[in-house]
Amino acid sequence: MSQDAAKRKAAEAALAYLEPGEVLGVGTGSTVNHFIDLLAERKNDIAGAVSSSEASTARLKKAGITVLDLNSAGTLSVYVDGADEANKHLQLIKGGGGALTREKIVAAASRKFVCIVDESKLVGVLGKFPLPIEVIPMARSYVARELVKLGGRPELRAGFTTDNGNVILDVHGLEILNAVELESRINGLAGVVCVGLFAQRPADVLIVGAASGTRIQTAA
């Protein structure tokens, strides 16, 4: 089974978590794109969606799904999103698509976070995937120096601006043994908008699409 087919399997399984008549939170990325395409068939079951990026908003609208503002939607019952890495505690690295800040906001505002991945995203220790950090442009060099002190090798994501008008530093070389603490430390640096570590609010359910069958995991 291809990686893309595994992503679609995970997206299919996430449909079981739809809450009829409720507003759904929708993430960003190629796995979520499968989910949005499948959701098009179920659009009458939900009251609409809150989107985590301009890209997902465009795809949701094209699928005929009403996109709502989080401020008017209130607490969401379910948020469905992908990840770049996931460990057994369902702590995640996200932000490969650069939408981490809005993703973290929608996840925080949701009662249940359903994460959909293919098997390649499962890791023992987070950090092989470069950790994305959204930074206010004027703080780029300062934040990069502070990240070096934490043992990382930050690289500016070339030619990329987030939906919020900021830049991304992708931090290589981290072995993240205490994700909750690192999330706090990086979030505490002046100029950091958001770090792509989802540890303080991990996923509640991890759906893993694989050739051997789709697996549902909850935190170990």
In the complex with ligand 5RP, the residue whose CB is nearer, 25 or 95, is 95
Q: Per CB under 6 A, does 209 bind ligand 5RP?
A: no
Q: Which is nearer to ligand 5RP, 95 or 127 (CB)?
A: 95
The nearer residue to ligand 5RP, 30 or 214, going by C-beta atoms, is 30
Q: Which phi-psi region, left, alpha or beta, contains residue 142 (left: φ > 0; alpha: ψ -120 to 50)?
A: alpha
User: Residue 127, interface with ligand 5RP (CB under 6 A)?
Assistant: no
Exactly one of 15, 18, 22, 30 binds ligand 5RP (CB under 6 A); which one?
30
Where in 58-87 is the site for ligand 5RP (CB under 6 A)? 81-84
202 binds ligand 5RP (CB under 6 A): no
CA–CA separation, 212 vs 214, rounded Å?
7
Site size for ligand 5RP (CB under 6 A): 17
CB atoms inside a 10 Å sphere around CB 26: 29
Tokens of residue 104, six digits: 């973290």
Give the nearest distance from C-beta 48 to ligand 5RP in angstroms: 21
Q: How far is the CB of 198 from ligand 5RP (least distance, A)?
A: 9
Across 85-177, where does the E strand assignment appear? 85-86, 92-93, 110-118, 131-135, 153-156, 167-172
With contacts defined by CB under 6 A, name the span among 12-20, 92-100, 139-147, 181-189 that binds ligand 5RP: 92-100
- The CA-based angle 25-30-36, given to 5 degrees, is 45
Query: For ligand 5RP, which residue of 36, 85, 95, 144 counts as binding (CB under 6 A)?
Result: 95
Q: CB-based contacts of 142: which residues, under 8 Å, 6+ apart?
A: 190, 191
Residues tagged active-site: 103
In sequence order, the 6+-apart residues with CB closer than 8 A to the CB of 58 are none
CB of 120 to ligand 5RP, least distance (A): 9
Which residue's CB is nearer to ligand 5RP, number 2 or number 44?
A: 2
How many Cβ atoms sit within 10 Å of the Cβ of residue 218? 9
